[in-house]
Homo-oligomer: A and B are copies of this chain.
Amino acid sequence: MTYCVGLRLNTGLVFMSDTRTNAGVDNFSVTRKMFTWDVPGERVITVMTAGNLATTQALISLLDERSKIVSERNPTILEQPTMFQVARIIGETLREVIADSGSEGQKAASKFKASVILGGQIKGGKPTVFLIYPEGNFIEVTDDNPFFQIGETKYGKPILVRAYDPDMSFEDAVKLLLVSFDSTIKANLSVGLPLDLQTYTADSFEVSDKPRIEADDPYYQTVSNSWGEALRNALTQLPSYQGD
């Protein structure tokens, strides 16, 4: 599986993705699922992928190729005027890759499926995040629905729902995401460290640091080890059940 989250804050965007890919439990490895394109001062586009690895790699390769070859007749995400148009291109490219894989031989198109979280900002627009479905259509974050998850989303959702706040700082958002990822990693072997992190400051139009959080990262270790105790303390704060 996979676990990726993209969330919108008032101060910008935060993206986190795991790196485990597996075909059965006896065949797993590390692969990057977060990709960034930028034109400094003008646009930053971040994509995270979940699903069939051949599909997602083909998608990223096509997006990348088309952003480099100017004479290529296909449209490039680096020339679209809005994030909406970028989402449209990525959706079309994703659908194209899935259709290609499914057109001959293997008929189970669902096996080639993949989902994408797209986030970023283009000059003239606001920072935003999209969730793109295998069918190529997509939805955008709103105030009511300010983050998207793809992959193994269930274990890590309750803490996001409860603790997300659009006013939170990048530092607090990263802490929240690490707790959400740690809950998932502890429950499901198909999600694993290291984690890729990227924060984007609104209106900066540049890629800040993109740290990779390894399993032995001291901060991750602290969060992972302290969260159990913090949760137990939180439970203690609640009044006890008294029965009838």
Contacts and interface: CB of A to CB of B under 8 A. Distances in A.
Nearest to A179: B235
Interface of A is mostly: helix
A216 interface: no
A69 interface: no
B186 A232 contact: no
Interface stretch (A50-58, A116-124, A236-244): A236-244
B158 A241 contact: no
Interface centre among A174, A223, A243 (most CB of B within 10 A): A243
A171 B219 CA distance: 34
A155 interface: yes
Interface stretch (A39-47, A100-108, A139-147, A159-167): A159-167
Interface in A204-225: 209, 211, 219, 222-223
A111 interface: no
Contacts of A211: 243-244
Given A155-B155, A187-B157, A230 B219 contact: no
A219 B231 contact: no
Nearest to A211: B244
Interface size class of A (residues with CB under 8 A): 35 or more
20 contacts: A155-B155, A155-B157, A157-B187, A158-B183, A158-B187, A162-B231, A162-B232, A163-B235, A171-B241, A171-B242, A172-B235, A172-B241, A175-B241, A178-B241, A209-B243, A211-B244, A219-B242, A230-B235, A230-B237, A233-B234
Which 5 pairs, one residue from A and one from B, show the smallest C-beta to C-beta distance?
A: A154-B154, A158-B183, A230-B234, A174-B241, A234-B234
Given A154-B187, A231-B234, 13 more contacts: A158-B183, A158-B186, A163-B232, A170-B241, A175-B235, A175-B240, A178-B241, A211-B244, A230-B234, A230-B235, A230-B237, A233-B234, A233-B237
